[in-house]
Amino acid sequence: MQIIVVFLFGFFATFVFLGNLMDFNSNYEFVRHVLSMDTTFKGNDLMWRSINNHTIWLIAYWGIIIAEGVVAFLGWFTAINLLRAYKKPAAVFKSRKWSGYLMFILIFLIWYVGFVVIGSEWFAMWQSESWNGKETAMGITQVALGMLIVFMFPEKDSAE
């Protein structure tokens, strides 16, 4: 099951990564609107947080894309390494899980810290009717948390 959860998240992240590359402008618009806060409630007192700089929008967006690509890579890398260690002693299997833990850390940094905490709360994304990704990011975070719990289950040694 541990192999399946890292494979599934790597598979998901591959589509997210490729989608951001193939439909660059749609998701760039999302980042631009969130950072500029131009679709939040009119006259809110948080507008001093807005960023209206094309270069910063691009840096933020490319940072997200690269991080999602790394998540995809780590998912595939971990799944392959765990498959190779499947019939080996539990200690060997466990030693190959490090990259999966890195993947989950990065998932929580992107979708929870990046989108929920920074995007939704700092940049008031929750106020936008059209550019609000908080619910989606929370859903991804919750799925990842469930997968992490499965991933953390102790290994059974084949000698037991």
Interval 102-160: pLDDT, tens:
999 999 999 999 999 999 999 999 999 999 999 999 999 999 999 999 999 987 665 44
Interval 23-62: pLDDT, tens:
999 999 999 999 999 999 999 999 999 999 999 999 999 9
pLDDT exceeds 70 at position 82: yes
- The tokens for 24 are 């660059």
Q: Provide the whole-model pTM.
A: 0.91
Q: What DSSP line would sit under 45-101, residue for residue?
A: TTGGG----HHHHHHHHHHHHHHHHHHHHHHHHHHHHHHHTTTS-HHHHHHT-HHHH
Average pLDDT of the residues in 80-85 = 95
**For residues 9 and 76, is the Cβ–Cβ distance under 8 A?**
no
